[in-house]
Each structure stands twice: as structure tokens, then as C-alpha cells.
């Protein structure tokens, strides 16, 4: 007999049939009711056990966390809380879970506790729901781009180009750390290293994606990126997944349109495909917020927030307008911001981004035309000579969810910029070639996948939306 996934069983409800399911025990009440879950859905199947029919030695093994195979007839449930249940005829114990040592008991565990048990936390309702949403969301990402004429491109994970943001990178080396080869200047000789030069894990596939957009037209990447920034925040990981679309012949306006349309599509997709998990996560969030002071609670529930994003236009505002708003804002005047906004040119911190989104506009915001000095070298210079065609998409509860720009397509302008920043032109010879051969207006952005998952699930800490978070001082598992 073939086993059936609980999700499928509950969808079909073949009343009267003898069925077989596998799963882990959530609870075993009154020596009679097993709530079994197999991860296919947040719903459990109730298996009713007639304890007179089974040996005490078997019943003893049915504890929370044990893996079982159960066979029996599917019948309408007598109790409330479920429409169907299995009248258990056969129990096979795949593996027991000693209640004295199994850490995931049927009670509320803190998210911090569960982070230390990351190998078992997916057996909780919260984490199985998050990880199902994460999976559906990744599929939505691919669906969107594949439906809209983009090609999936795999940028290198090991990169030899250090112009992207040196200092924040993880080095990749096979040199003997105890006894590395040295050059005449007394420095480590990376010429002897595996690649014959310094190599690092990528912080972004953008530059390589640009080269592919200038041949395939529209491409996107979706892969792991690595940043050795020492920021212990609820929005930063040392290893995270980034989505980077890059489009030839797109200007900044088209880029903003795409970012908005893409994000809305993925959220709508989750609303359409993850109803049960979202209902659960919404309730979890409401419970969590009960312990917060009134003014910190959100005005909308999780599902309302998701619908709001799908149904409303993102507000597009220039950096200059944003600075005016911030300079005259209450928290700035009352010196409540940690970083006060005094003048044009200031870099925006997450407290400012969140003020604009959560307090001022009360909707997602796309800020654009930032000062050139606070943005990357490859962004296209505006006619004013001081701002660049950059954009950041800001989300409630998250801050920056995506950042992008129209790229500088003019060779001389880019060369000047590189020179001013003291970057070696040779480092970027291939990137400059794009401006030498068939250059064109092009644009793209990078969106942190975990921040999108955070938004979709309402989770406050990015460590809880990736299976095994990598953060400073932490690479267990
Ligand atoms: P932030 O200002 O939030 O640190 P950033 O401006 O350094 O982000 P970008 O280089 O613009 O980030 O990267 C593009 C996107 O990748 C960001 O908008 C964000 O969603 C995501 N991202 C950046 N750094 C991290 C990180 N350390 N962990 C998770 N996601 C990240
Ligand atoms: Mn950014």
C-alpha cells in the first residue's frame, strides 16, 4: 500500500478507504488521540487509537516527536476540530523520541531557544509554515521572471573581482594559513594561491549579470551572496540569497515599475497559495504583539499588510524630497533619531527609512535620485552632476528591501568616476568593455530574498526565515 501525504488526504477525504500516512507525533492525548503531522501542510491528521487493541509496549513509544506509520480507515470525525480522522488499525514506529531529551515539546518555545535547535525547529508549526512560504516564494520569483521574458543566469560564487566592495568579503584560499608563501615585500603571495590571485565569495552578481543582460536582454540571478559585514541586526546575514534582475534598454522609471510589479506578484502569489500558513502566521504575530506596548503594535494584521502592498501604488519620492520631510519631522526636531538629519547629502539610516514608510507615507516607498557620494560608482550620473539614478525600495517593518539603479553606460563618465575613487581600471577591464562595445541604457536591482520572506511571514528577525542562519560568531550546523 502506498502512503499518502496528509495534505493530499485532507484535500481528497476518501471516506471509508483504508489509508496509510507517515509523520511525526505532535501530541498524544488521553492515550487515544494522536495528532500526526508530516510537513506537507500545517494541518495534522487525527488518528484515533483504541488502546485495548494495542500493546502497552507500543503505546509507550507514541510520544511527541516520534516518527510513525499509521494505517486505518478514514472516517468522519466524531469530535470537533477536524472533519475526518483515521481509525487506527496498524501502528509502525519508525523511531522514538525520548520525552526527557527531545527538546521540541508541545508548548511555546521562544524563537531564541529554537535558533539553538535549528536542526529540529522545522518540526514546529511556526517554522514549517515559514519554510513552506519560503519555498512557494522562491517559485514565485522564478515564475515571475520566466513569464516575463527573463533568462535565469548563474553568476560566479567565487569572484576574482574585488571592486564590488572589498573589505566586506570572505576570502577563498587554499594557502596554508600557518605557513603561507610570502613575496619580497613580506606580504602573502596570492600568486601562489589556487586561482593565482586573491579570490573571494561574491557579495553581488550584478556586474556579471550586466554583461549577460547586454546579450540576452533581460536576465535575473537568484543565488547565495556573502557579506562579512559585522552587523548584528535583525535584517543582516553573512550569507543570504539575492535576486538580481538586470535589463538592457531599461531606464530608472522602467526599473522602478519592474521592482514594484515583481514584488506585488510574489506577495499575491503567496496570498493565493499559502492561505493556511498565513492564517497561522498572522495569529502568531498577533500573539507576539500582545506583549508589546500599544504604540508598537501594527495597525494591520499580517494578511491585511500583504493585501495592502498588493493593492496600493508604492510612493515614489526623490532623495531630496525625503531629506526635507525628515529634516522637518518630529523625531528629528525632538532629537529622537539616533542620527539627526541636518543637511542634504546625509546617508539615510534604517530609522529614517522606517519613519518615511511607517509614519509619514504609511505605504511602501521608492526613494530615487540619491547623492552620488553615498552610492556605488556604477550608477548613472544625472544632469545636475551631483545625484545618480539610484533607487531603494523601502518596506514597513523591514526598511530597505531592494536597491538598484540605472547603470552608467557612458565610458568616459564611468572612467572618470573610477579614477576619482582610486579604483584600478585594469580591475574592471571587462566591465568597461561593455561601454566600449554596443553600450546602451540598462538598469537593475538587487532584492534580499530573506527580507521578502520576513515581510511575507511577519517574522521580525531574519535569522528565523532561513534554515541555517550565518551571522558573526555563528556558523553552527
Ligand atoms: P543595507 O543598507 O540594508 O545593509 P545594502 O544597501 O548594503 O543593505 P545592497 O548592496 O543594496 O544592500 O543589496 C541589495 C539588497 O540585498 C538589499 O536591499 C537587501 O534587501 C539585501 N541585503 C543586503 N545586505 C544584506 C544582508 N547582510 N543580509 C540580508 N540581506 C541583505
Ligand atoms: Mn542598498
Compute, in angstroms, the gap from residue 305 CA to the centroid of ligand 1.
22
- Alpha helices, DSSP H only, in 104-165? 111-116, 125-147
Q: Which helix (H) or strand (E) holds 215?
A: helix 206-216
Compute, in angstroms, the gap from residue 445 CA to the centroid of ligand 2.
9
Is 444 a pocket residue for ligand 1 (Cβ < 6 Å)? Answer: no
User: What atom in ligand 1 is closest to the CA of residue 399?
Assistant: 3
Please tell me the predicted confidence (pLDDT) of residue 25. 98
Ligand 1 atom 25: residue of nearest CA: 236
Is 369 a pocket residue for ligand 1 (Cβ < 6 Å)? Answer: no
Is 470 a pocket residue for ligand 1 (Cβ < 6 Å)? Answer: no
Q: Which ligand approaches the C-alpha of residue 472 most closely?
A: 1
Q: Which ligand approaches the C-alpha of residue 226 most closely?
A: 1
Is 379 a pocket residue for ligand 1 (Cβ < 6 Å)? Answer: no
Is 447 a pocket residue for ligand 1 (Cβ < 6 Å)? Answer: yes
**Distance (Å, whole) CA 209 – CA 207:** 5
Is 280 a pocket residue for ligand 1 (Cβ < 6 Å)? Answer: no
Mutate to test the pocket of ligand 1, among 446, 447, 464, 474 (most ligand atoms within 8 A of CB): 446
Is 450 a pocket residue for ligand 1 (Cβ < 6 Å)? Answer: yes
Q: Which ligand approaches the C-alpha of residue 259 most closely?
A: 1
Q: Which ligand approaches the C-alpha of residue 164 most closely?
A: 1
Instruction: Return all residues near 264 (Cβ < 8 A) that are at least 6 apart.
Output: 309, 310
User: What atom in ligand 1 is closest to the CA of residue 401?
Assistant: 20
Please tell me the predicted confidence (pLDDT) of residue 376. 94
Compute, in angstroms, the gap from residue 233 CA to the centroid of ligand 1.
12
Is 23 a pocket residue for ligand 1 (Cβ < 6 Å)? Answer: no
Instruction: Cell 521608492: give the residue.
Output: 366
Compute, in angstroms, the gap from residue 309 CA to the centroid of ligand 1.
20
Question: DSSP letter string over 158-211?
Answer: EES--TTTTTSPPEE--S-SSS--B-TTSSB-GGGSTTSS-EEE-S-SHHHHHH
Ligand 1 atom 19: residue of nearest CA: 448
Each residue's pLDDT, cut to its tens digit, for the chain (477 residues) gives: 899 999 999 999 999 999 999 999 999 999 999 999 999 999 999 999 998 999 999 999 999 999 999 999 999 998 888 999 999 999 999 999 999 999 999 999 999 999 999 999 999 999 999 999 999 999 999 999 999 999 999 999 999 876 665 468 999 999 999 999 999 999 999 999 999 999 999 999 999 999 999 999 999 999 999 999 888 899 999 999 999 999 999 999 999 999 999 999 999 999 999 999 999 999 999 999 998 888 888 889 999 999 999 999 999 999 999 999 999 999 999 999 999 999 999 999 999 999 999 999 999 999 999 999 999 999 999 999 999 999 999 999 999 999 999 999 999 999 999 999 998 899 899 999 999 999 999 999 999 999 999 999 999 999 999 999 999 999 999
| SS3 label, residue 316 | strand
Compute, in angstroms, the gap from residue 448 CA to the centroid of ligand 1.
6
**Distance (Å, whole) CA 149 – CA 160:** 30
Q: Break the chain down into helix, strand, coil percent, rounded to 5.
A: 35, 25, 40
Is 241 a pocket residue for ligand 1 (Cβ < 6 Å)? Answer: no
Cell digits for 166? 572589498
User: What atom in ligand 1 is closest to the CA of residue 227?
Assistant: 27
Instruction: Return all residues near 424 (Cβ < 8 A) that are at least 6 apart.
Output: none
**Distance (Å, whole) CA 164 – CA 159:** 10
User: What atom in ligand 1 is closest to the CA of residue 402?
Assistant: 18
Ligand 1 atom 22: residue of nearest CA: 448
Compute, in angstroms, the gap from residue 237 CA to the centroid of ligand 1.
9
Cell digits for 406? 540605472
Q: Which residues surround ligand 2, an ion (CB under 5 A)?
A: 403
Is 240 a pocket residue for ligand 1 (Cβ < 6 Å)? Answer: yes
Please tell me the predicted confidence (pLDDT) of residue 230. 85
Please tell me the predicted confidence (pLDDT) of residue 126. 98
Angle at 155 between CA 152 and CA 159, to 5 degrees: 175
Is 417 a pocket residue for ligand 1 (Cβ < 6 Å)? Answer: no
Q: Which ligand approaches the C-alpha of residue 165 most closely?
A: 1
Ligand 1 atom 28: residue of nearest CA: 236
**Distance (Å, whole) CA 4 – CA 250:** 48
Closest by CA to 229, choosing from 163, 166, 156, is 166
Decide if 29 contacts 59 (C-beta within 8 A).
no
User: What atom in ligand 1 is closest to the CA of residue 445?
Assistant: 14
Instruction: Return all residues near 152 (Cβ < 8 A) that are at least 6 apart.
Output: 142, 145, 146, 219, 220, 221, 222
What b-and-e string marks burial along 204-243, b requiring 16 or more CB atoms within 10 Å of the CB? bbbbbbbbbbbebbbbbbbbebbbeeeeeeebbbbbbbbb
Please tell me the predicted confidence (pLDDT) of residue 299. 85
Mutate to test the pocket of ligand 1, among 141, 205, 400 (most ligand atoms within 8 A of CB): 400
Residue 92: φ, ψ to 5°? -115, 125
Roughly how many angstroms between the first and final C-alpha of the chain, as a whole number? 36
Amino acid at each position: 500500500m502506498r502512503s499518502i501525504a496528509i495534505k493530499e488526504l485532507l484535500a481528497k477525504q476518501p471516506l471509508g478507504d483504508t489509508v496509510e500516512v507517515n509523520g511525526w507525533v505532535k501530541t498524544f492525548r488521553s492515550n487515544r488521540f494522536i495528532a500526526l503531522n508530516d510537513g506537507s501542510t500545517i494541518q495534522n491528521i487525527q488518528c484515533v487509537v483504541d488502546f485495548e487493541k494495542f500493546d502497552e509496549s507500543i503505546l509507550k513509544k507514541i510520544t511527541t516527536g516520534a516518527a510513525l506509520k499509521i494505517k486505518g480507515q478514514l472516517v468522519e470525525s466524531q469530535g470537533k476540530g477536524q472533519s475526518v480522522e483515521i481509525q487506527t488499525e496498524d501502528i509502525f514506529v519508525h523511531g522514538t523520541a525520548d520525552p526527557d531529551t527531545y527538546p521540541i515539546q508541545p508548548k511555546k518555545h521562544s524563537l531564541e531557544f529554537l535558533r539553538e535547535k535549528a536542526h529540529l525547529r522545522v518540526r514546529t508549526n511556526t517554522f514549517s509554515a515559514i519554510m513552506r512560504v519560503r519555498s512557494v516564494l522562491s517559485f514565485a520569483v522564478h515564475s515571475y521572471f520566466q513569464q516575463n521574458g527573463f533568462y535565469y543566469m548563474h553568476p560566479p560564487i567565487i569572484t576574482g573581482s574585488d571592486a564590488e566592495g572589498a573589505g566586506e568579503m570572505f576570502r577563498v584560499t587554499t594557502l596554508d594559513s600557518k605557513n603561507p608563501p610570502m613575496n619580497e615585500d613580506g606580504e602573502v603571495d596570492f600568486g601562489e594561491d589556487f586561482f593565482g590571485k586573491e579570490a573571494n565569495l561574491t557579495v553581488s552578481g550584478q556586474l556579471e549579470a550586466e554583461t549577460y543582460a547586454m546579450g540576452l536582454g533581460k536576465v535575473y540571478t537568484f543565488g547565495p551572496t556573502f557579506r562579512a559585514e559585522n552587523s548584528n541586526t535583525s535584517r543582516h546575514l553573512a550569507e543570504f540569497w539575492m535576486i538580481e534582475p538586470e535589463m538592457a534598454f531599461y531606464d530608472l522609471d522602467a526599473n522602478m515599475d519592474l521592482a514594484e510589479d515583481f514584488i506585488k506578484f510574489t506577495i499575491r502569489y503567496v496570498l493565493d497559495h499559502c492561505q493556511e500558513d498565513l492564517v497561522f502566521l498572522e495569529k502568531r504575530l498577533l500573539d507576539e504583539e500582545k506583549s508589546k506596548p500599544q504604540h508598537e503594535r501594527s495597525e494591520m494584521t499580517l494578511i491585511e499588510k500583504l493585501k495592502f502592498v498588493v493593492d496600493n501604488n508604492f510612493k515614489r519620492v526623490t532623495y531630496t524630497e525625503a531629506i526635507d520631510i525628515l529634516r522637518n519631522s518630529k523625531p528629528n526636531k525632538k532629537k529622537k533619531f539616533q542620527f539627526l538629519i541636518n543637511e542634504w547629502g546625509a546617508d539615510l539610516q534604517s530609522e529614517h527609512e522606517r519613519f518615511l514608510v511607517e509614519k509619514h507615507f504609511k505605504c511602501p516607498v521608492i526613494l530615487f535620485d540619491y547623492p552620488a557620494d553615498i552610492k556605488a560608482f556604477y550608477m548613472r550620473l544625472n544632469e545636475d552632476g551631483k545625484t545618480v539614478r539610484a533607487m531603494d525600495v523601502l518596506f514597513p517593518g523591514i526598511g530597505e528591501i531592494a536597491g538598484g539603479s540605472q547603470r552608467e553606460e557612458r565610458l568616459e563618465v564611468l572612467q572618470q568616476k573610477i579614477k576619482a575613487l582610486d579604483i584600478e581600471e585594469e580591475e574592471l577591464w571587462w566591465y568597461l568593455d561593455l561601454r566600449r562595445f554596443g553600450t546602451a541604457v540598462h538598469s537593475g536591482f538587487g532584492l534580499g530574498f530573506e527580507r521578502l520572506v520576513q515581510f511575507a511571514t511577519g517574522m521580525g528577525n531574519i535569522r528565523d526565515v532561513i534554515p541555517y542562519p550565518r551571522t558573526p560568531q555563528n556558523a553552527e550546523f
